[in-house]
Amino acid sequence: MVNELESFFSHNIKGMKRSAIREILKLTQRPEIISFAGGLPDPTLFPTTELAEVTAEVLKNEGTLALQYGTTEGDPLLRKLLVERYQKQGVNIQEKNLIITTASQQGLDLSAKIFINPNDTVICGLPSYLGALSAFVSYGANIEGVSLDEHGMRSDLLEAKILELREKGIHPKFIYTIPDFQNPTGISMPEWRRIEIIAIAEKYNIIILEDAPYREVRFAGIPQKTMLELDRSGRVIQLGTFSKVFVPGFRIGWVVANEEIIDKFVVAKQATDLCTPAFVQRISARFIEKGYLDKNIAVVTSAYKQKQEHFIKCLQEYMPKDVTWTTPDGGLFLFLTLPEYIDASEFFQTAIEQKVAFVPGTSFYCNGEGKNTMRLNFSFMNLEKNEEGIKRLAKAIALEITAKKTTPTF
């Protein structure tokens, strides 16, 4: 054996743990358990027929290109088509402003690689996407949290946090935010809140990292301009992905930012994986070209609308009083709040006994708050399974409430 192997590991890897969610997912692979824990899209909606058609064409007509190494920046056709989509939405970017990444998780990783020195500070929502926090921590970042209200990250608390950090001589590298159907809460920022956050970022000269994986999974309400679009000072970096509106199994994402920042992404990506698989990039490009992506987005949003409405109806029907939840206009998740005296992590075992699972909300709070919350996914399962799962969860919560109320506390 290697002597003292532990001493070989980097400080950063020593500070990292396996994702709590992925460990929970393993626990919940028992077939009798209904799990709201995952963050998976509904696989029955995957456009396999269209993909079979497009893939066969790509292999036939441009196989030697699609199976070869690609450029680090990404497939030229895919970049062109993505840029055109942005331009159609009124966002004036060029190809030099966009790089393809190996899903948006790589966008997060490279953002950290580019900006974070050990002990640098970044600001995130309370709660916020766990995979982003992991990526930042893996480069030694300190995470400072700012609470959300029903309109997303609170701008008053954001400014207060920046001033508090200033007192300590700390200038945060960036503000990480998910303006549309935030993971884990499902909350969206109205345009005025986005403008407020950008104004603060401008005032204090901070970069904004806008994570937009759910952006196009809107099934209710009115689309709000992205922070990228609202930005006037080139300080917004936007991360996009096909994982929720197309297929996650391709691992295709992208980053949009000012040219100087994209240049750093290119340099960082070269050392990380050279390029994203050319094969799935070219298939995606041809899929877009044929109009299949827009068709697929319509299919997904329509299905998720039905799922969310049914989910909310079931929650209303089965949940004990004193339990509340968010009602998102899009995305894959909603956030449930238990009475304050219930710790969702402790309650997890009771739920498993009732054969239902979820992610305890505290996993998403960098400061350990949110003990009485949980994230529920409504996209993956069918209506029947969702309903049965909610029944089980409601029963488990009712049992927990009764147990807590009858247990004298000392």
| Residue 268 binds a copy of itself, judged by CB under 8 A | yes
Q: Which residues from 153-212 bind a copy of itself, rule CB under 8 A?
A: 173-174, 205, 207
| Residue 142 binds a copy of itself, judged by CB under 8 A | no
Residue nearer to a copy of itself on the CB measure, 45 or 157: 45
| Residue 119 binds a copy of itself, judged by CB under 8 A | no
Minimal distance in Å, beta carbon 399 to a copy of itself? 32
The single residue among 125, 145, 277, 328 that binds a copy of itself, judged by CB under 8 A, is 277
| Residue 92 binds a copy of itself, judged by CB under 8 A | no
Residue nearer to a copy of itself on the CB measure, 278 or 376: 278
| Residue 261 binds a copy of itself, judged by CB under 8 A | yes
Q: Parallel, antiparallel, or unpaired for β 121-126 and 142-149?
A: parallel
Reference 113, options 236, 266, 240, 337; nearest CA is 266
| Residue 88 binds a copy of itself, judged by CB under 8 A | no
Long-range pairs for 242-245: beta carbons < 8 A, 24 or more residues apart: 242/284, 243/41, 243/103, 243/104, 243/213, 244/41, 244/213, 244/214, 244/216, 244/217, 244/300, 244/331, 244/332, 245/216, 245/217, 245/293, 245/296, 245/297, 245/300
Residue nearer to a copy of itself on the CB measure, 323 or 359: 359
Minimal distance in Å, beta carbon 196 to a copy of itself? 19
| Count of helices and strands (H, E) across the chain | 14, 14
The single residue among 36, 86, 129, 139 that binds a copy of itself, judged by CB under 8 A, is 139
Residue nearer to a copy of itself on the CB measure, 114 or 187: 114
| Residue 31 binds a copy of itself, judged by CB under 8 A | no
| Residue 121 binds a copy of itself, judged by CB under 8 A | no
What are the angstrom distances between the C-alpha of 325 and each of 106, 307, 308, 311, 338?
31, 15, 12, 11, 9
Residues sharing a CB contact under 8 Å with residue 301, sequence separation 6 or more, in sequence order? 216, 217, 218, 219, 330
Q: Which residues from 368-387 bind a copy of itself, rule CB under 8 A?
A: none
| Residue 1 binds a copy of itself, judged by CB under 8 A | yes
Reference 253, options 261, 263, 265, 235; nearest CA is 265
The single residue among 109, 196, 229, 400 that binds a copy of itself, judged by CB under 8 A, is 109
The single residue among 223, 248, 320, 339 that binds a copy of itself, judged by CB under 8 A, is 248
What are the angstrom distances between the C-alpha of 145 and each of 109, 347, 365, 373, 382?
19, 25, 8, 17, 35
| Residue 5 binds a copy of itself, judged by CB under 8 A | yes
| Residue 259 binds a copy of itself, judged by CB under 8 A | no
Q: Which residues from 46-75 bind a copy of itself, rule CB under 8 A?
A: 46, 48, 51-52, 55-56, 59-60, 63-72
What are the angstrom distances between the C-alpha of 255 and each of 144, 194, 317?
24, 19, 42
| Residue 221 binds a copy of itself, judged by CB under 8 A | no
CA–CA gap between residue 374 and residue 239 (Å, rounded): 25
